[in-house]
Structure formats: C-alpha cells, structure tokens
Homo-oligomer: A and B are copies of this chain.
Amino acid sequence: MLMVVCDGVSDRPVKQFDSKTPLQAARKPAMDAIARNGISGIMDVIAPGVVPGSDTAHLALFGYNPYEVYTGRGPIEAAGASIPLRKGDVAFRCNFATSGDGAHVTDRRAGRISCGTADLARALSGMKIEDVEVIFKEGSEHRAVLVLRGPGLDHRVSEVDPHSEGEILQSKALSPSAEKTARLLNEFVRMSHETLSDHKVNKDREKQGLPMADIVLPRGAGSVGEIEPMPDRYGLKCAGVAGVTLVKGLCRIVGMDVIDVPGATGGLDTDYMAKAEAALRCLETHDLVFLNVKAPDIAGHDGDFRLKVRVIESVDMMLGRVLKDLHEEVVIALTADHSTPISVKDHSADPVPVTVSGADSRVDSVRKYDEISAAAGALGRIRGTDLLPIMMGMANRSAKFGA
C-alpha cells in the first residue's frame, strides 16, 4: 500500500484564473491516471467544517482519532528532533526570542537567528528545576524544543508566549494537577533569560547589532498519549518518506520507519525523483509506505496560484516516476492532509479530493483528480480515519469481524 499526501494541495476556485482550482488548472497526467483507474471521493480529514492542522490531519490519516491522542504540538516537534519521549514527559515547541528586560518580547524570532543556537541550547539543556530535568534542543533558525522530565507533570498549562510583541505571560495551571508544570515553566523562562543574556553568542550578536536571542518562549505543551504503534495496531510494517521535520516526527510517533532521503527538504526545492525512488524501494520491504510532499502547501500559504500549479506539475512528474515501476498489486491512495486555498493563504475546512486504486479495485467514472471531479466518485464522502481501513480492505489486509 502506498499513501501519497500532497500537503495542502486541495483548494478553492480562483476567479482570476478562470474560476479553476490549481488542481483543475494543472497538467497532471499521473494523478488523473490514478483517478481514472480507481474510485474517488472527498474526505473530511478530521470532520466536516473542522480546519485540520498538519499534525492532527496526519494522525487522522494514520487512523488515529486526533481528539483522543493529540494533546499539543510539543511532542511531535520533540519526535521530529529525535528526542525519545517517555510517558509523563511534557514537551513544548519553543522560539529563541529577544526580550532585553526578561518581561517583554521585542522580536519573537530573535531576528531569525541562524547560527549559534546549538551553543545556546547546550547552555540550557541538562539544567534541573526542582526535581525536574530540562532537555532542550535547537531546531532550524529560531526554533527549538523543550522537554520537562520528572514526576508530577501535566501538559494542561496556559501559554507564556504572547504570540506577538509585548508582555510575556505567566503560565497558569488549566487543571489542578498542572500547578507544578506551570510553576516550572515560568521558572524555565526566567532561567533562560538569566543564562542566555550573558552568553557569548549573544555578546557577539550585540556587537554586530543583531537582536539577542536572550529568552526562550515555549508553547504548544503536550504529553505523549497512549499511541499504539501502527505495526502493532494494524500488523503492518510501515515506512514514512517526508522532508519536513514535523511530518517526520509524526511518522516516528506512530512507529513508522522514517527514511532519510538526501535532497528531500520539505521545501520547494525538494528532490522529487529521489522521493519517488525512495518510496518504490520502501515498498519492497514494507507493507505500507507513506509519502508526503510539502511544496503545494507552501505555495498555498504564499497565495501564489501559478506557483501552486507548477508545484502540482512537479509532484505529478514524481508520481509518474512512481507509477512507472509500481507493482499492479499495490493499492495506492492519492490525497491531501487539508486544503490550503490560494484565497485563504492558510488551512481551510474544505474537504480534500481522494482517489484509491489497486489491482482489482472498482472503477468509477471519475477521470480527473481534482476537488470537483472527485466528489462525483464511488467513494462518496469519507473521513480521514476511514482512508487507511479502506486501503487495507482493498488490499485484503483487513480481519473479519464475526464469522
């Protein structure tokens, strides 16, 4: 089985472009071939009218109810940064930011600091606050991950990050059992300012007239839920091919083998052919291969119709490469994790087109992969959590319930 997710490819018609969606405007012979040979439909990735995040959407596509397993973005970022989480840990995504006085933030991204963050992170990681250990790791640019590890933690705390310039907030417990976590979080922010203000990296930045990365603002608190790994849950050996860190983290959390593909950047410059070939190779050793391409989402966030069309055509060439060597027994699903309409420049709740084909799959009259054509297909309107079970059913990998 091969699940291809074109991140954010789903869209709305755009008046200036003949009232077409980017999928309708693009030349995409491979995508249309998949639609022509299988059954299509539309999919509410979470539920009708719910705008999916990339994280919750992927959890749903992997068959998990995000309302049950998702507590916050932190643990997914931690997994993406290869920090193995334990039960009871609370994880946060963080920004290095510029404060000055330790009470206000003047630049939430510390001038998009691009070097020295590893040194700054080392100065924070390993600290103890009360009986709790601080694990801290830098990410790309101003991004980082914080994990608090110790007894009696609870992720239900309010944010310290004001999400704009201004006063840094005091975290409060949103549940009585989170009092300790809120206290430690506030203390961590205070200590990060104390430690980073005098750090050599910041002294150098000051000399160069750059904003100091003198405070850390954690957000997106979450703890690891009871996620049964996909191999146990479905009896499937699973591999994930993705460029972007968040999606890689999600793949790790659900127990996929995450394949590192040189040149797969998660950006517009990704090496599409390398991803195609990695996916084909994985199919030889795995039952389910998941392939994510991030670029359509980036074009959607940019609100750039022509760019999105070009990206779709590049993704289509990647799919053409996949189809050329795909065993006819493989059940392939082509879909998106959410819509990122040109007109919205952000995720939207519009359902996404989905098409599934395989050896002896039913074939409907849909001949094109796009938002409107797919809606007339024999798959009807499904939910994100239905997709993997449907693929397994078509691949004869489902168990009978009853006799």
Contact = CB atoms under 8 A, between A and B. Distances in A.
A62 to B, nearest CB: 13
Contacts of A379: 375, 381
B360 A55 contact: no
A341 interface: yes
A333 to B, nearest CB: 12
Given A15-B360, A390-B349, A401 B48 contact: no
Given A52-B402, A389-B49, A401-B51, A360 B375 contact: no
Contacts of A19: 363
Given A41-B381, A346-B400, A362-B371, 10 more contacts: A47-B386, A48-B383, A49-B386, A50-B389, A53-B401, A53-B402, A73-B402, A341-B360, A349-B392, A349-B398
A293 to B, nearest CB: 19
A220 to B, nearest CB: 6
Contacts of A181: none
A380 B40 CA distance: 12
Contacts of A364: 372, 375-376
Contact of A51 (B363, B380, B399): B399
Contact of A360 (B14, B346, B393): B14
A343 B329 CA distance: 13
A49 B14 contact: no
**Which residue of A73, A343, A401 has the most chain B CB atoms within 10 A of its CB atom?**
A401
B360 A54 contact: no
Contacts of A401: 46, 50-53, 56, 66
A382 interface: yes
A208 interface: no
A156 interface: no
A42 B390 contact: no
Contacts of A50: 389, 393, 398, 401
Interface string A327-353: 000000000000001011011111000
Nearest to A58: B402
B220 A393 contact: no
Given A55-B402, A70-B402, A393-B350, A343 B372 contact: no
A189 B388 CA distance: 41
Interface in A25-47: 39, 41-42, 46-47
Contacts of A70: 402
A164 interface: no
Contacts of A402: 52-57, 66, 70, 73
A233 to B, nearest CB: 13
10 contacts: A42-B380, A48-B386, A49-B388, A50-B398, A53-B403, A344-B396, A350-B362, A365-B372, A376-B378, A380-B381
A361 interface: yes
A135 to B, nearest CB: 21
A248 interface: no
B389 A378 contact: no
Contacts of A14: 360
- Which 5 pairs show the lowest CB-CB distances between chains A and B? A49-B389, A53-B402, A349-B393, A380-B381, A56-B402
Given A54-B403, A402-B70, A393 B49 contact: yes
A393 B51 contact: yes
Contacts of A380: 41-42, 375, 380-381
Interface in A208-254: 220
